[in-house]
Structure 1
Amino acid sequence: MQSRLPEYALSLTLLSMCCAQQAYAGGLMLYEIGTDNAGLANAGAAARAQGPSTIASNPAGMSYLKGTQITGGLQVLYGDLTFDRDSGSNVSGSGSGNGLDPIPGGSFFISHELDDHWSVGFGTYGDFGLAFNYDNDWSGRYFAQNGSIAGLSLVPSVAYRFNDQWSVGAGVKAMYGMLQAQTAIDRSPFGFADRGDGQFKYEDTDWGYGANVGVIYAPGAGTRIGLAYTSQIDLNFEDRLNVKGNGPALDRLNGLNTDLSMQVPQTLTLSLFQALDQQWALLASVNWQDWSEFGDVGVQVDTSAVGAQSTTIDAHYKDTWQLALGAQYQATAQLLWNVGLAYDSSAVSDSDRTVTVPMAESWRIATGATYAVDKDTDVNVSWAMVWLGDMPVDQSKSISGNRISGQFDNAWIQAVTGNMTWRF
């Protein structure tokens, strides 16, 4: 990377640029991917084995599915992510506006029982990412204007059932990563000149590969314990900065080759499904995500009249945990009701939060219903509310001194999901 750039001070941060098809789930990993799992807040995900979407949560669950089954789902995410600046901000501009536009998504799964022991399947879904779209002239424009990162996963899978108690499964996870970001450049740092903003764009795609593996143990009728693991996936983005604006420094920045590597974190989920009687079942999950690895990567470029320095950023991310509890109620022969409640810890402390990745601890409440149209067709509708609350941010550039200070007030995200399952 070029290390000396004359002229005035500017700062560019490419740190886990943010994303498409996604909600905040302990970080950038999603539980809402267009399936009935959304209505349970992820409770029991690795143990339920109630449809082919188990490929995403625990491939061992395919061994409980008879014949050929297909699930197709759609969803939309929407919410409120509005930043309220305080007196600590020193950049003029408007408010951020609602940085979260409605985001559509979907998924597709198919499973097939080969014999009494073997099952195979395939799933495609988006379970990683984030998206923001602030007003272009807002006071935090030198840190972020809009951006997205999305990961679309393609997962061929296989499961083997040893007996009535033990099943295992594995899938190869190919993720297509898409990264895009747009940020303003301050062409008048310190107020020394009266110049309009410049702007840069960064965009690239990459493939990364990993695995999903899982096991389900059924110690007795109506009880299943599931353990599922997803491996780390490396995404390596590389693009030449597309800079708009006049001036020697911006001219030299334009086309600057910039590498940004991300590690989609490994995860571990332990789940319980316990049927109490013919109508009621209780579900629970504990989930761990290895965000401390993701947070060690980022690029920052600071320039001044005497030179420039590029550094790798430590975002100080930390691992996250989720605890989810849920219940299912078979109201009638055709109607199954789901409900769930979950808590996710935050991957960042208040002092390390940025307007680029505004995550925080969150509470999730969810519900949904599955209706059996006939013995071979189910329809599910689910809803989830993710409450992030107030998220303070105090972010500064070390050379130019640009600062954005304030908080996201009462931030929330909702997901509405619909899907159908066919059995053959």
Structure 2
Amino acid sequence: MSQQKYKKLLRSTVASVALVGAVASVSTTSAEAGGFALREQSAIGQGASFAGIAAGGGLSSMFWNPATLTQVGGISTESVASFVIPRTDVNLTSGSFGTADPGDVGLDALVPASYMGAQLTDDLFVGLSVNAPYGMATKARNPSGSSFHAATSKIFTMDAKVNIAYRINDAFSVGVGVGAMYTDVRMTAAQPGVLAQELKGDDWAPTLSAGITITPRKGTTIGIGYRHETKFNLAGTQYLNTAAPLPAATFTAPITANLTLPTSVTVGLRQEISDRFAFLAGFEYTRWSELKDPIPINGSPAGTSLHFGYKDGWYASVGGEYKHNENLTLRGGLGWEKSPIPDNHRNLRLPDADRLWASLGASYNVSDKFSVDVGYSHLFIKDDVKVSGAIGGGAISYAGTADSAADIVSVAMRYKWKPDPLFANDDPIDRKY
């Protein structure tokens, strides 16, 4: 390759890695929802493909709808651990640096979530939630025909919220959550013998959610949850080392980028058919088009911008819950998710595609205070989807296909510390003057 082409490669790849860092600054693991969102926030929800989760089910429902806090009396905690086991085999069909396959780029990961709820009075509730709502982690075999574009992508996020909910009457409850999300990202790309680079960056941003539950009659609950867009001003540093035939150099530069994570609305229905069986349904709409296109990367040596081209995504699910006895509850569900990423914008870092969720789960009351929840989902992801990437205006590129699937196992422990409201049945204060 000529010296001129190598210089173009250098400038374009530097910009590409900077852009990837800006895009991916949002969580701890492989994305297992549309785009790079994470839905693994509840073992109860996992067991039913998250059907009806915005209408309630446990403390973890507050992630989607803080108004569901009013359904859990007393003082309780819920801790969730979800194990994501993806398989994403990428096979290259063409590439400027050959067609050596990146291999299985998906990384196994643990997604934790924690919740606390306290009933202050008969109708006033407060809660705390800690989640990782977005995420992406991929690692390609190096060297490969695409390593110039992406090698490793690892992101961490934590969203902590204080939630307040109020039961207006037997029919209506409302809630709001206010908090902050922290993001940290590390991205690398490399072309053996030519260049290696790394990007690190982080930021804090405020987060907001709100919701309502409606109980028009006994046995029917409708929940509507809203998660507001989150705006980050990512700040980071780009490191670059070059080798022959490029001039040997070590380069460091600060970069910034404005990134908006999307608004989402979730609707859930929980309908009791009998004393033992409940029908569950849900719908989630995410405005991925809020990711501005293009996003300029300030400080990028090439002065380039990132083009997402994302469309709005949605997810629909149905399920059921069966109360086998006083201690054991069984559940299952199916879900369909429309990916927001079109073919011409799908690349190695996030080979996302339409998927079918199939889930089973159970809850068991070990005692009056302690319960255990488990949920399992298998994701049937559309096969042979196109992936591609390019730098230098397309002068250097790769193309291929991705075959993906995933298994998710969620386990949760719930404990009721106090069955009554915190300020219930208190003796009046007797003041003496």
Calculate the TM-score normalised by the size of structure 1: 0.90
Alignment partners' CA distance in 2, 1:232 and 1:343: 23
Q: Is residue 79 of structure 1 aligned with residue 86 of structure 2?
A: yes
- Written as runs of structure 1 = structure 2, the 5 A alignment for 1:376-395 is 376-390=369-383, 391-395=385-389
Q: Is the 8 A contact 2:231 2:258 kept in 1?
A: yes
Q: Is the 8 A contact 1:260 1:297 kept in 2?
A: no
Alignment partners' CA distance in 1, 2:177 and 2:63: 9
Q: Is residue 104 of structure 1 aligned with residue 146 of structure 2?
A: no
Q: Is residue 20 of structure 1 aligned with residue 28 of structure 2?
A: yes
What residue in structure 2 maps to residue 342 of structure 1? 335
RMSD (Å), alpha carbons: 2.4
Q: Is the 8 A contact 2:30 2:86 kept in 1?
A: no
Q: Is residue 35 of structure 1 aligned with residue 43 of structure 2?
A: yes
Q: Is residue 353 of structure 1 aligned with residue 346 of structure 2?
A: yes
What residue in structure 2 maps to residue 159 of structure 1? 165
Q: Which deviates more, 163-172 or 95-104?
A: 95-104
Alignment partners' CA distance in 2, 1:275 and 1:420: 25
Match of 2:220 among 211, 214, 223: 223
Q: Deviations over 1:31-89 (max 9, x none)?
A: 112532111212101102x3211221211011111111110111211121110111x32
Q: Is the 8 A contact 1:6 1:248 kept in 2?
A: no
Q: Deviations over 1:356-394 (max 9, x none)?
A: 221111111111110111121110111112222222113
Alignment partners' CA distance in 1, 2:242 and 2:249: 11
Alignment partners' CA distance in 1, 2:392 and 2:86: 32
What residue in structure 2 maps to residue 404 of structure 1? 398
Number of aligned residue pairs: give it: 404
Q: Is the 8 A contact 1:93 1:137 kept in 2?
A: no
What residue in structure 1 maps to residue 143 of structure 2? 137
Q: Is the 8 A contact 1:295 1:317 kept in 2?
A: no
Q: Is the 8 A contact 1:387 1:413 kept in 2?
A: yes
Match of 1:149 among 147, 155, 162: 155
Match of 1:362 among 355, 358, 363: 355
- Written as runs of structure 1 = structure 2, the 5 A alignment for 1:137-216 is 137-185=143-191, 196-216=193-213
Q: Deviations over 1:137-187 (max 9, x none)?
A: 11110111011233211011100001100000001031111111001258x
Q: Is the 8 A contact 2:318 2:333 kept in 1?
A: yes
User: Shift of residue 257 of structure 1?
Assistant: 2.3
What residue in structure 2 maps to residue 62 of structure 1? 69
Q: Deviations over 1:189-236 (max 9, x none)?
A: xxxxxxx13111001111111211000010000100111100011122
Q: Is the 8 A contact 1:243 1:250 kept in 2?
A: no
Supply the AA of the counterpart residue of 1:53.
Answer: S
Supply the AA of the counterpart residue of 1:169.
Answer: G
SS in 1 for 2:46: helix
Alignment partners' CA distance in 1, 2:72 and 2:42: 19
Q: Could you say if the C-alpha distance between residues 399 and 318 of structure 1 is closer, same or farther in structure 2, counting changes exceeding 3 Å?
A: closer
Alignment partners' CA distance in 2, 1:416 and 1:276: 28
Alignment partners' CA distance in 2, 1:176 and 1:309: 28
Alignment partners' CA distance in 2, 1:173 and 1:347: 26
What residue in structure 1 maps to residue 7 of structure 2? 8
User: Shift of residue 421 of structure 1?
Assistant: 0.4
Match of 1:255 among 252, 255, 275: 252
Q: Is residue 417 of structure 1 aligned with residue 417 of structure 2?
A: no
Percent of residue pairs bearing the same amino acid type? 23
Match of 1:234 among 218, 231, 235: 231
Q: Is the 8 A contact 2:34 2:338 kept in 1?
A: yes
Match of 1:311 among 304, 307, 320: 304
Alignment partners' CA distance in 1, 2:207 and 2:201: 20
What residue in structure 2 maps to residue 189 of structure 1? none
What residue in structure 1 maps to residue 273 of structure 2? 276
SS in 2 for 1:135: coil
Alignment partners' CA distance in 2, 1:233 and 1:128: 11
User: Shift of residue 314 of structure 1?
Assistant: 2.0
Supply the AA of the counterpart residue of 1:276.
Answer: I
Q: Is the 8 A contact 1:23 1:32 kept in 2?
A: no
SS in 1 for 2:382: strand
Alignment partners' CA distance in 2, 1:227 and 1:251: 57
User: Shift of residue 23 of structure 1?
Assistant: 2.8
Q: Which deviates more, 327-336 or 216-225?
A: 327-336
SS in 1 for 2:54: coil
Alignment partners' CA distance in 2, 1:26 and 1:350: 14
SS in 1 for 2:53: coil
Alignment partners' CA distance in 2, 1:297 and 1:228: 29
Supply the AA of the counterpart residue of 1:397.
Answer: I
